[in-house]
Amino acid sequence: KAGVTQTPRYLIKTRGQQVTLSCSPISGHRSVSWYQQTPGQGLQFLFEYFSETQRNKGNFPGRFSGRQFSNSRSEMNVSTLELGDSALYLCASSLDTGQETQYFGPGTRLLVL
Amino acid sequence: GESVGLHLPTLSVQEGDNSIINCAYSNSASDYFIWYKQESGKGPQFIIDIRSNMDKRQGQRVTVLLNKTVKHLSLQIAATQPGDSAVYFCAETAYGNNRLAFGKGNQVVVIP
């Protein structure tokens, strides 16, 4: 079974721009969660999607948003980029049948200049 | 790992020795705990998990211990190998909740 895939792997943007990141979960997984990883703050939960609905949300500003499609693929969007948004963005998927083991993708490295 | 950098605790261990990585969790309502390993340039990789109704769980070369009284979690790696060099994170959540809260991470360096 293929693992979680994320595209693109690397991205460079400038302040004020917006960006869309994509995540394809493991086949059969219905829950997709997004995390931001920085050296200073570590791994922080952004949001979770299940059945095309946002089920859980972390403490990030409204500039961070996401969505999930009927095939469980998910996208996250960051608008009006700030320098502090530079980070590794990780996507994780899980079956959500009572098991919470989340499997992570390789991440998208975003650099905001 | 991606969290290498500022003030990351580092454990240096000789190849073949056992490693112990500790984690203090914060939320007494958490009842599901996971250890992840992150190698440089990769996403976190699941190692082992434990639910709060257990105090010990063993996997292949790894053991997780949970002490709910003091809110402490540990990961033991037997016969540490060079491939075990990575950053290790503990994560906690409540069962049925996919929102993971991660610890800051511990860097393990295996000396050949």
Q: Which amino acid is located at A102 in the chain?
A: Q
- Per-residue pLDDT of A4-57, as tens digits, reads 999 999 999 999 999 999 999 999 999 999 999 999 899 999 999 999 999 999
Whether residue A97 has pLDDT greater than 80:
no
The answer to whether B41 contacts chain A (CB < 8 Å) is yes
Report the C-alpha gap between B23 and B40 in whole angstroms: 21
Q: String of b and e for B44-70 (b: at least 16 CB within 10 Å)?
A: beebbbbeeeeeeeeeeebbbbbeeee
Residue A10's closest chain B neighbor by CA? B41
Residue B5 pLDDT:
41
CB distance B20 to B90 below 8 Å = no
Q: Answer whether A90 sits within 8 Å of B4, measured CB to CB.
A: no
Nearest to residue A93, comparing CAs of A83, A103, A84, A85? A103
Q: What mean pLDDT is reported for chain A? A: 95
- In this structure, of A60-69, A75-84, B24-33, the range with the lowest mean pLDDT score is B24-33
Q: Which residue has the higher pLDDT, B76 or B98?
A: B76
- Per-residue pLDDT of B17-71, as tens digits, reads 999 999 999 898 899 999 999 999 899 999 999 999 999 999 999 999 999 999 9
pLDDT band at A71 (very low <50, low <70, confident <90, very high): very high
Whether residue B2 has pLDDT greater than 80:
no
Q: Answer whether A39 sits within 8 Å of B5, measured CB to CB.
A: yes
Nearest to residue B31, comparing CAs of B105, B110, B100? B100
Please state, for a pLDDT cut of 90, what percent of chain B lies above it.
83
Over range B77-84, report the average pLDDT.
Answer: 96
Residue B102's closest chain A neighbor by CA? A43
Residue B1 pLDDT:
36
Whether residue B6 has pLDDT greater than 60:
no
Over range A71-79, report the average pLDDT.
Answer: 97
Q: Answer whether A100 sits within 8 Å of B36, measured CB to CB.
A: no
pLDDT band at B4 (very low <50, low <70, confident <90, very high): very low
pLDDT band at B7 (very low <50, low <70, confident <90, very high): low
CB distance B75 to B13 below 8 Å = no
Q: What mean pLDDT is reported for chain B? A: 91
Over range A63-92, report the average pLDDT.
Answer: 98
